[in-house]
A and B are shown apart, each in its own frame.
Chain A
Amino acid sequence: ETGVTQSPTHLIKTRGQQVTLRCSSQSGHNTVSWYQQALGQGPQFIFQYYREEENGRGNFPPRFSGLQFPNYSSELNVNALELDDSALYLCASSARQQGAYNEQFFGPGTRLTVL
Chain B
Amino acid sequence: AQSVTQLGSHVSVSEGALVLLRCNYSSSVPPYLFWYVQYPNQGLQLLLKYTSAATLVKGINGFEAEFKKSETSFHLTKPSAHMSDAAEYFCAVRGGSQGNLIFGKGTKLSVKP
Contacts and interface: CB of A to CB of B under 8 A. Distances in A.
A45 B106 contact: no
Interface residues of A, number: 27
B101 A101 contact: no
Interface string B86-113: 0000101011111111111110000000
Nearest to A10: B41
Contact of A101 (B32, B100, B105): B32
Contacts, number: 59
B45 interface: yes
A109 interface: yes
Contact of B95 (A40, A45, A55): A45
Interface string A55-91: 1101000000000000000000000000000000010
Dominant SS among interface residues on chain B: loop
Most buried by A among B32, B49, B103: B103
B23 to A, nearest CB: 11
A99 interface: no
A57 to B, nearest CB: 9
Interface of A: 4, 33, 35, 40-45, 48, 50, 55-56, 58, 90, 92, 94, 101-109, 111
